[in-house]
Amino acid sequence: MPPKRTTTGLSLPEAKGVTYDESEMALFHAKLSYHSTIDERMASKDPNLASICEHQARILERWEALKQRQKELAERGHGLPPAERSQLAQYEWRYKRLEELAKKPAEKKN
């Protein structure tokens, strides 16, 4: 027996031609991570965390701009040049490495 609908008249469109863009999701998660931690990290007054946050912000800005360029080129039927595709992959890697550094406990000075 099919489940009953709780809302009448509302229906979701069928997912036709929906593609999963791993790079787009990585950017989304990076932005989410950045925005959820920026206030706490900047309030800590740790110069290393502040520097990491500044670098992450620049990476996200460039990453987002390159993703936008990729979308614009795709609309025209073109793709990113190989150098820019490589750069796109590097942004994700760089962001993740900085995030690992930010989460790493500070070494205690003796």
User: pLDDT for 23-43, tens place per residue?
Assistant: 889 999 999 999 999 999 889
| 22: confidence class by pLDDT, cuts 50, 70, 90 | confident
Q: Amino acid letter at 28? A: F
d(CA 88, CA 96): 13
Residue 14 has pLDDT above 90, yes or no: no
Average pLDDT, the chain: 84
How far, rounded to the nearest angstrom, does the alpha carbon of residue 24 sit from its chain's CA centroid?
7
**Closest to 41 in 3D by CA, of 110, 107, 101:** 101
The set of residues, in sequence order, having a beta carbon less than 8 Å from that of 53 and lying 6+ positions away, is 34, 38, 41, 42, 102
**Closest to 48 in 3D by CA, of 91, 100, 108, 101:** 101
